[in-house]
Structure 1
Amino acid sequence: MTRPKGDLLMKKMLVVFLSAVLLLQGCSTNESEQKLVEWGEYSTSQEERLKKNGIDFKVEDDTIYIEEKDLNKAAACCS
């Protein structure tokens, strides 16, 4: 007995669809949800070290803010 071609095609389409959903979910970023935390007072040396180590930061009112996910990385290289 053979399976109808429609069943096999539906299974293939389902596998492709689920694979695409998983791939897109894995590639998505939640940058807009990253919480900024105060790192310290602004100085050119701090700015240079953060840039050199690829850590995104924001400066407001002479205070440096970094993303919460980068705290350990910043502590290792820039403190």
Structure 2
Amino acid sequence: MPVPTFDQLLWPILELAGRTEITRQTATAAMIEQFSLTNEERQEAISSGAPKISNRTGWAMSHLTKAALIEKVAKFTYKATTKGVD
């Protein structure tokens, strides 16, 4: 399976943030597990050298924040809003 696009990560990240507080690192690890990414897929990088899955997780979290579905509760830490849980 190719690395999921950021829009494919929106729902799984929102569900995760509804159960527990998340960081980009913990969300990335959860998405790697949920999508059963291979070592090769985990290491696939964008042009800057950053891991593609980490980059796409960050974009998904950014879109969820802008939609007010998750919110920052501490430095680098997010959780689902009431709107996000609904």
TM-score, with length taken from structure 2: 0.26
Structure 1 or 2, whichever has the larger Rg, is 1
Q: Larger relative CO (CA 8 A, sep 6+): 1 or 2?
A: 2
Give the number of the structure whose residues are more often strand, by fraction: 1
